[in-house]
Each structure stands twice: as structure tokens, then as C-alpha cells.
């Protein structure tokens, strides 16, 4: 299985804040950022390092530097995860993938894509809600077409339908999530879920 669901007290706390329909946008944004820190730490456990020599105030010792990392935020909900990535990973480059879903068919519709050089990079795709899998699969195809081979998706909540699709279409992509929920409803929303992540982040309900 290409899915890892993290088990951490802080992740459970922040996810509960996000699920609560009474949480206002400003608190929702802070909780999304806090939760993303826990996802980033799990997703980067095997990040390539370069060994260096450094000087402490007392002597010479071994140090390590993180390699080439690119974060790709799937617009617009992925923006709620971006600050935590920027604050955690040194020298990270950022790309953007704009896709919206057709509310009738739940199929992804591209409207914007801007990616940095992905050759040799570890790519983290920020897609909070893995529902049908259409948007994430599209974003993965985009970064693969640009040369990416080491790809991890960071999700807040996943549904079985989306995970199944990703396993069928991109079995090489690892998914790190805070929760794996029960199912999609007849409107393709994850349940119990947390509603529309983008609307709740930006107060556009």
C-alpha cells in the first residue's frame, strides 16, 4: 500500500480543529499549518542528505545538508499547507498546479501550471483532500512529465476511492495523510471529512 496515515497526538488535535464546522477561517488556517508540520516530518524521513564538514565552537565535526526539494501546491487548498513547508525545508523551490473539479462529474479541469526544474528533485505535492483522486493524479502526471521521479503527496484527509485510483495510476507515489476516511458521498465529498478545504481556509463559504 502506498498510503501512510500518521499517528501523532498533535496531528489528531489539529485534524479535530479542522473537522469542527464551528472553526472560523483564521483558526482553520493555523490548524492546517500546524498539521502540515507533522505531515512534512513524516514525508521527509528518507530525504537525501549530503555529508559536509562543519566547525562547532569547539571542534570540527560532520554535518549534513538537505538536497533539492520542490513543493508543488495544488491550488487553491494546497496553499494552506505551503507556509509550513517553506518554514521547515531549507532552500525549497515552489511550483503551482491550478485545477478545479467539475461539480457534476468531479473530473479535474486545469487552469494553471508553473513548475521549477524538477530534474533530480524530491517532489512534495500538497493536495489536502484526496477524494476521487482526479486532481492529485493530474498533478502527479504533470510533475512526472517535467522529469520528477521521487514524488510524495501530502494530504490532510483521504478517501478509499482516491487512494485506490492513485494506487492504480501512480503506484510509485507515496501518500502521507492525517486521516483515511470512510467514503465519498453522492457529491464526491469525503465523509466524515471536513468540508471544502479551500472555502474554509479563505472564508468563501
Question: How many domains does the chain contain in total?
Answer: 1
61-83 pLDDT per residue, tens: 999 999 999 999 999 899 999 99
Separation of alpha carbons 31 and 133, rounded Å: 24
Q: Is 181 a catalytic residue?
A: no
Q: Is 101 a catalytic residue?
A: yes
| Residue 166 is assigned to a structural domain of this protein | yes
| Residue 60 is assigned to a structural domain of this protein | no
| Residue 178 is assigned to a structural domain of this protein | yes
Q: Is 199 a catalytic residue?
A: yes
Catalytic residue (choose from 12, 83, 88, 196):
196
| Residue 165 is assigned to a structural domain of this protein | yes
- Give the alpha-carbon dihedral of 79, 84, 87, 90, to 10 degrees: -90
Q: Which three cell numbers stand for residue 32?
A: 492546517
What DSSP element (H or E) covers 100? strand 93-101
Q: When comparing pLDDT for 145 and 110, which is higher?
A: 145
Query: For residue 91, which of 113, 62, 121 has the smallest C-alpha distance?
Result: 121
Catalytic residue (choose from 105, 107, 149, 204):
105
Q: Report the pLDDT value the prediction gives residue 1, as an integer from 0 to 100.
A: 60
**What residue numbers bound the domain in which 147 lies?**
3-46+67-202
Q: Is 105 a catalytic residue?
A: yes
Q: How many CB atoms lie within 10 A of CB 178?
A: 25
Catalytic residue (choose from 12, 19, 76, 101):
101
111-136 pLDDT per residue, tens: 788 999 998 999 999 999 999 999 99
Q: Report the pLDDT value the prediction gives residue 99, as an integer from 0 to 100.
A: 76
| Residue 59 is assigned to a structural domain of this protein | no
Q: Are 182 and 192 within 8 A, CB to CB?
A: yes
180-201 pLDDT per residue, tens: 999 999 999 999 999 999 999 9
Does residue 30 carry a pLDDT above 90?
yes
Q: How many CB atoms lie within 10 A of CB 9?
A: 8
| Residue 192 is assigned to a structural domain of this protein | yes
CATH of the domain at 175: 3.40.50.2020
Tell me the pTM: 0.92
142-174 pLDDT per residue, tens: 999 999 999 999 999 999 999 999 999 999 999
Q: Report the pLDDT value the prediction gives residue 102, as an integer from 0 to 100.
A: 67
19-53 core/surface letters (b: 16 or more CB in 10 A; e: else): beeebeeeebbebbbbbbbbbbebbbeeeeeeeee
Amino acid at each position: 500500500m502506498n498510503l501512510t496515515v500518521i499517528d501523532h497526538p498533535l496531528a489528531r488535535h489539529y485534524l479535530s480543529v479542522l473537522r469542527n464546522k464551528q472553526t472560523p477561517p483564521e483558526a482553520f488556517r493555523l490548524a492546517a499549518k500546524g498539521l502540515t508540520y507533522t505531515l512534512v516530518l513524516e514525508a521527509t524521513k528518507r530525504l537525501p542528505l549530503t555529508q559536509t564538514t562543519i566547525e562547532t565552537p569547539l571542534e570540527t565535526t560532520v554535518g549534513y545538508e538537505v538536497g533539492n526539494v520542490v513543493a508543488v501546491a495544488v491550488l487553491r487548498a494546497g496553499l494552506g499547507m505551503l507556509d509550513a513547508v517553506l518554514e521547515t525545508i531549507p532552500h525549497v523551490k515552489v511550483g503551482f498546479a491550478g485545477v478545479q473539479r467539475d461539480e457534476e462529474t468531479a473530473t479535474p479541469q486545469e487552469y494553471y501550471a508553473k513548475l521549477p526544474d524538477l530534474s533530480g528533485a524530491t517532489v512534495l505535492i500538497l493536495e489536502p483532500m484526496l477524494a476521487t483522486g482526479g486532481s492529485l493524479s493530474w498533478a502527479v502526471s504533470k510533475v512526472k512529465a517535467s522529469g520528477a521521479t521521487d514524488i510524495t503527496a501530502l494530504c490532510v484527509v483521504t478517501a478509499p476511492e482516491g487512494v485506490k485510483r492513485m494506487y492504480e495510476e501512480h503506484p510509485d507515489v507515496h501518500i502521507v495523510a492525517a486521516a483515511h476516511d470512510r467514503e465519498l458521498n453522492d457529491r464526491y465529498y469525503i465523509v466524515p471529512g471536513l468540508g471544502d478545504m479551500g472555502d474554509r481556509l479563505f472564508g468563501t463559504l
